[in-house]
Amino acid sequence: MVALPGVDPSWSAYIDVPSTSGADAPGSTHRWHYLDNGSDIGPVDRPGGGSYDTPGGEPSVRGTLLCVHGNPTWSYLWRSFLAAGREAGWRVIAVDQLDMGYSDRTGVFRRLAHRITDLEDFVAAVGITGPVVTVGHDWGGVVSLGYADRNRDDLAGVILTNTAIHQDPARPIPAPLRLALAPGVHGLGTRTTSAFLDVTLALARPGLDRDVRHAFRAPHRSPADRQGIANFVSDIPAEPSHPSYAALTATAEGIRSLDVPVLMMWGPHDPIFSDTYLEDLAVRLPHADIHRFESAGHLVQEDAAAASTAMDWLAARSVGAGAPAGNGPSRTAAPYVPLGRRIGELANGPEGSTTAVAEMSAAGPPRTLSWRELDDDVAAVAAGLTALGYGPGSRVSLLVPPGVDLTVLIYACLRIGAVIVVADAGLGARGLSRAVRGSAPDVVIGVERALLAARAFGWPGRRISSAPLSAARRKALRVEASLNDLRAARPGTDSPNPDAESDAAILFTSGSTGPAKGVVYTHRQLSAMRDAVERTLGLGPGAALVAGFAPFALLGPALGATSVTPAMDVTAPRTLTARALADAADAIGATVVFASPAALRNVLATSSGLGSTGKRALARITLMLSAGAPIPVPLLEAVQDLVPAATLHTPYGMTESLLVADIDLDGIRAAAASGAQGAGNGVCVGLPVHGTHVAVSPLDGTGAATGEPGTTPGVTGEILVDAPHVKDRYFRLWRTQQDAARTLPWHRTGDVGHFDAEGRLWVEGRLGHVVTSAAGVLTPVGLEQALETVDGVRLAAVVGVGPAGTQAVVAVLETEEAGRRPRLAGSSLAAAARTAARARGVDLAAVITVPTLPVDVRHNAKIDRARVAAWSGRFLSGGRTGSL
């Protein structure tokens, strides 16, 4: 093998391997090429046994990763694993399968069964002893699983990347493979020309460097060299009559009993091995850890940090010799009362005929259900879902706007142990599609618009419509039932309460800080969320609340409170008008309002439309809650005028922990005036709520949160939370979860802030938005607040440009008089901004004005500072820059 980028020449090795494969004549021997980092990592295993302990007692080698490439790649694909393994103490052996790479061209058609035997022959010849972790990609994933299934004695783990083990005979194979197999195309595309090879290499995201592409092609230059590529494609068992179908099925069934740790790393942008195949594997190996690298594709090894993730996972799962036992202290847990318990209690009590849920509509009277009706409806829908085959663990994607139907569906799913998947339409079509697809739902239940999107984007899962549809429509949208059909199903046996530790919900984050992440809650944690809201805000039976903010909307019935959804477009909170809010409040005699800051802004803007009834309804409100984004005090004060009898609370939380801290308007004023040590520089979010522990992990000079968790006043760090209602994990984001939970029992929020001497928490921004200038680490929020007091400034973003540790601090201001194009601020505004910054010890390198700053869709308030920073970097480095 010639020298290639990323490959240490000493890794390249050849070995003559006697074949026991049925494909070969007895006594055949083939020369294999493989990459092996064994000589890099000290004393390796000795053929014929013996210990690989060093004199110090610590095993020098944790074990061996046996890496198997697919088609049309070769061992070069695994070079990052060899390098990472060298650092982590793993011997990594990556083979070139026969007829591929630099291994022999055998001249024989090798089918799947032969290839599994081939791998066993290779391992026997090389003499691997000790723990083995198989690692596979593409068709190599199948071969490696076949090996793992049959060689369990030394098997310590399994790692899979974009592969498939089962082809549903009822479904066609992916279109690109159908094409590659088509008569007339197959030989031409795979062997005669390098088309199949070229197309595969072109799947890398971002594209491969020229020399890397060259390296992948190197051993497959001539048609003869490419015979293996052609044969691999022919060996895809597209239907049960195929000669390799039996071998594939044997492995696919066999692995169901694998009990070693499994990691699946996936690039979802793969035209072949889509999420459908990942889901199939996840069902066969339910204990597997999964990480989907959201932006990666088929060649996930090239696109993402797969190798380092694999090494981290091996350590975290204690795979291999000499691994320390993992796991720190576990999170705080709470006693468990099922989330829907109160619905049944109230239904069967004296309040059974009072309103439980109401839904306002722009046209016509509100739709309401009493507690008894709600309980019956939940039971009916639960039975309908059961009749359709859904039950514990089924993932049900709910694309229904907040209201009666959504409430019924949520509690019906929870009752049967199905996992609700809730993603916000505010993510936009692409973001929503990415979220739904990534959550691999068994069924999508949605309004017609959602079902149209499901068809357009090809979302997985069966379909149920929330509203009745015409027969033609049902057929077109593949809808097998409507919500009313579910209600009409014969009630079956009542399912027992689901296990408290099993998954209950996957709630998607807003996506304001990168692609939306699925956040998994168990039943126990969801119930704890209800208890935290009840205890913190004093909400329980008898309360009547307007649910204008989605995450809290689902909790109304759980709290035993009457809840109403106002008439508004939920995808845009700012469409809530004062009139709609007042009508909703009036309909149930509400005393409590939940609304997002964006909704409140619009309520204020439309308050002149309020009649006297509406004003009276709002005057009855005693508690107003707004969460999701910081709310400036002037806005709160204006809201107070609308709801004069209410205390205004602005609880702090996130999708991963809906309640962390809480404060009211008086508390905010008191905090601002307190002069306590550490008060200031951020948004005060108050004291941690009951049962919730909060700490900060101090930042180091590079802006990384590496410090020991603590609560010292004035010390800025990443905010950490531990509470019974903190999420269980992220969905199919093993690495992200590992990072967020690396200091158990804490969940790392990714927000930065500090405590003051009176125990209040002040939020200073996102960890990823911390600016590291030569003068030190700077968090954005405090300075932004100061800049927003400068005349003419509506909204400010403070970002860093340039290399970490020596960044230039830049203020990007949305001003009342900004023109249509971004520009440098005029001299008087720049001077005023610099003076404000200097008062805080910050030198602003540049002050830029823009017509609008990018904010998140859900709250219309959280600035996308990462985008602002990247844009500012271009704007300030010369040359042409588009608008922000």
Binding residues (CB under 8 A) for other proteins: these are 774, 801-803, 805-808, 823-824, 827, 830, 834, 843, 845-846, 873, 875-881
3-state SS string for 351-407: CCCCEEEEECCCCCCCEEEEHHHHHHHHHHHHHHHHHCCCCCCCEEEEECCCCHHHH
Contact 63, 37 (CB under 8 A): no
Q: Which residue, 764, 842, 763, 855, is CA-closest to 800?
A: 842
| Bridge partners, residue 395, by sequence | 419
Query: Between 171 and 880, whose beta carbon lies closer to other proteins?
Result: 880
Query: Between 540 and 776, whose beta carbon lies closer to other proteins?
Result: 776
Q: How many CA atoms lie within 13 A of 227 on its CB side?
A: 12
Rounded to the nearest 10°, the torsion over CA 52, 58, 60, 65 is 90
CB of 802 to other proteins, least distance (A): 3
Query: Between 210 and 880, whose beta carbon lies closer to other proteins?
Result: 880
* Residue 477: CB atoms within 10 Å: 19
**Biggest alpha carbon–alpha carbon distance for the chain:** 97
CB of 803 to other proteins, least distance (A): 4
Q: Which residue, 857, 349, 384, 342, is CA-closest to 563?
A: 342
| Bridge partners, residue 318, by sequence | none
CB of 799 to other proteins, least distance (A): 13
- CA 483 to chain CA mean position, Å: 29
Contact 76, 7 (CB under 8 A): yes
Query: Between 493 and 827, whose beta carbon lies closer to other proteins?
Result: 827
CB of 863 to other proteins, least distance (A): 21
Query: Between 490 and 880, whose beta carbon lies closer to other proteins?
Result: 880
- Grouping H, G, I as helix, E, B as strand and the rest as coil, residue 523 is helix
CB of 791 to other proteins, least distance (A): 20
SS3 content of the chain, % helix, strand, coil (to 5): 35, 20, 40
Query: Between 94 and 846, whose beta carbon lies closer to other proteins?
Result: 846
Query: Between 467 and 824, whose beta carbon lies closer to other proteins?
Result: 824
- Grouping H, G, I as helix, E, B as strand and the rest as coil, residue 314 is helix
CB of 813 to other proteins, least distance (A): 14
Burial environment of residue 571 by CB neighbours within 10 A (0 to 12, 13 to 18, 19 or more):
middle
CB of 834 to other proteins, least distance (A): 8
CA distances (Å), origin 588, targets 261, 360, 402: 53, 10, 17
* CA–CA–CA angle 154, 156, 159 (5° rounding): 125
How many angstroms separate the CA atoms of 623 and 619, rounded? 11
CB of 805 to other proteins, least distance (A): 7
Burial environment of residue 157 by CB neighbours within 10 A (0 to 12, 13 to 18, 19 or more):
buried
Query: Between 525 and 772, whose beta carbon lies closer to other proteins?
Result: 772
CA distances (Å), origin 830, targets 566, 705, 795: 44, 32, 15
Contacts of 471 (CB under 8 A, 6+ apart): none
CB of 774 to other proteins, least distance (A): 5
Q: Which amino acid is at 817?
A: E
Query: Between 323 and 770, whose beta carbon lies closer to other proteins?
Result: 770
Query: Between 677 and 702, whose beta carbon lies closer to other proteins?
Result: 702
CB of 814 to other proteins, least distance (A): 18
Query: Between 77 and 810, whose beta carbon lies closer to other proteins?
Result: 810
Query: Between 732 and 834, whose beta carbon lies closer to other proteins?
Result: 834
How many angstroms separate the CA atoms of 758 and 522, rounded? 34
Query: Between 171 and 820, whose beta carbon lies closer to other proteins?
Result: 820
Tokens of 581: 């809010």
CB of 164 to other proteins, least distance (A): 45
CB of 776 to other proteins, least distance (A): 11
Query: Between 787 and 808, whose beta carbon lies closer to other proteins?
Result: 808
Query: Between 672 and 824, whose beta carbon lies closer to other proteins?
Result: 824
Tokens of 596: 């997002």
Tokens of 873: 């970097």
Q: Which amino acid is at 243?
A: P
CB of 804 to other proteins, least distance (A): 9
How many angstroms separate the CA atoms of 408 and 374, rounded? 7
Q: In what order do the strands lie in the sheet with 443-446?
A: 479-482, 462-465, 443-446, 395-399, 419-422, 503-508, 518-522, 729-730
Query: Between 182 and 824, whose beta carbon lies closer to other proteins?
Result: 824
* CA–CA–CA angle 168, 173, 174 (5° rounding): 130
